[in-house]
Amino acid sequence: MKIGQEFHPNMKMKTLFLTYLVLITIPLYVLGLALTSYLFLIKEYLVATVLAFVYILPLVVVTLFIGYWIPKYYSSIKYILSENEVRVERGVWWKMRHAVPYSRIMSIDTIQGPISRHFDLGTVDIYTAGYTGQAGGSGGPGVRRSEAAIIHVPDFLALREEILGVVRGKPLFASPGEASDSIGQKMLEELREIKKLLKP
């Protein structure tokens, strides 16, 4: 990734999300259709019809809605590694924008589930000092949410190393525009002043 260049999740993210959708909904459809068929066989037509309207119809609506939402969500995601910070934007209806200065980054984790591994995709979670996001992040329930997550990218390990390389070159908790050379220069000047004061 080039500094300042916008990039997006891999196109396979849409297939990954559709796979999740199929894996969740197929057992629900099988259960609903089996119950409805059984009720028709035992001539409980009214109960079977109610079950179809109460269970199967809402399931179809939810499946179609999620199928519509997946490409919209994919198109909403943008990442930028700028000179001073990592920027993440996403959201179909509620837009979220996160900007994490390199100088605040304390740790970077990578996550790859079994299905994501099949599609050769992974997530880079970025944490800062003292950030206490609620549990249930991209690592799953009970995992502290990262301040910024770069989700479903193919070269996620290389991306992690690239961000770590930039982080290592930044002084911790410096202002975004403050270079490490200028901080070193200031410290040197202060030490010289202290040395002058200590001279008899």
* 1-15 pLDDT tens trace: 567 778 889 999 999
DSSP code of residue 195? H
Radius of gyration of the chain (CA): 25
Q: Where are the beta strands (DSSP E) in the chain?
A: 6-7, 78-81, 85-90, 96-101, 105-111, 122-128, 135-137, 140-144, 148-153
* 118-149 pLDDT tens trace: 999 999 999 987 655 544 445 454 455 688 89
pLDDT of residue 174: 54
Q: What is the pTM of this model?
A: 0.71
DSSP code of residue 170? S
* 40-51 pLDDT tens trace: 888 888 888 888
